[in-house]
Structure 1
Amino acid sequence: MAKYFYSDCVISDVRGNAAGLVSAKIDGREISNIDMKPEIYRYFTGVGAGTKNRVWFSVQSILHKKLVRVRGVENEAGERLVVKEKIGTSFRDLIISPPLFGFLTWFVSFIVLIIPMAIIVGQRDLMFKINVVAGLFGFAAGVWYFFGALGFIRKSANLDAWSAGDVSKYSKAVKPEFGSGLAALKK
């Protein structure tokens, strides 16, 4: 399940290319897999580098890896830079992707169900029963994908409704460099 939150933080030391995953320091902590659109990347490598901003994040878990995306930025003057989804993206997410995802789920479940259904049901009307069960799985997956995409589009439209969160869960502490004076602070 995706998480949506905002945080007042300082993003600095942004490294990577403008059209993909970058690494950055957020409040002095290192994060290596953060996704930024090119205009947000240019802001954080230019005038917004090292300044305190309100940043809206979405976090998705993909195969036990957390992908952090920057959805919008507001500077101290109140100016907002928000990632607007193109109409083609929302059309693809709502109209094209759910049936494709449902078909893929139907195909995979059809392949997976052949042996168990042959053992349980027997040979009589085997293909019809497998198609019905796999079709139900595919339809349910398509509907689930559609409502997930619809929820994301609704959530993205209203950044002010997002709750405050902490991005430190998705980053790691940076080991201080040798001679940075931290030994004097421990005394």
Structure 2
Amino acid sequence: MALVCEKGIAGLTLGEVGERAGYSRGLAAHHYGHKEKLLVALVEQIGKDVRDVRQQVANWAPGLESVLGIVGFYVGRHPSLDTTLRALHVLLSESVVTRGAVADALDRLNRESVAILEGHIRRGIEAGNIRADVDPVAESVAIIGAMRGVSAQYLFGMSDASARAVRNALVETLRRGLRREPG
């Protein structure tokens, strides 16, 4: 992940991966065969890392609080300090151009992320803490776009003070937009 953050997809070589791992230059090529297969494995690892961390902090009430917790957690992780999210942004950016198996793996990861948020939104609608007129799929895609957009701003050098304010603003905007008003 660190090499992808440093060099991007195009600049990455399997030889460097083997060396950085403390092994021979040929080990990554032997194990993965080609760079694309290594990058697909990296996308799968990023998905696992995000799922693992999300499970560790997922003590929120079903529905709205779960959605807001996920957003606050994701946006609160500063990607310039978080290799996993930084690598994800590099892969997302470069895969738009390169397409292929890496883009397909990112599409699967994205669909999984949408499905998770969609499930939380549906549970919130059922529990009555999210408005019944919310489209769970459309809202999930919009939320993921907002989270990734804010993370990209961090990568461009947003200050930590601004980052906290933006995180809080996004969470509060979503709270107001999704919340079912009592009555």
TM score, norm. by length of structure 2: 0.29
TM score, norm. by length of structure 1: 0.28
Higher helix proportion (structure 1 or 2)? 2
Greater gyration radius? 1
Higher strand proportion (structure 1 or 2)? 1
Q: Which has the bigger relative contact order, CA under 8 A and spacing at least 6? A: 2
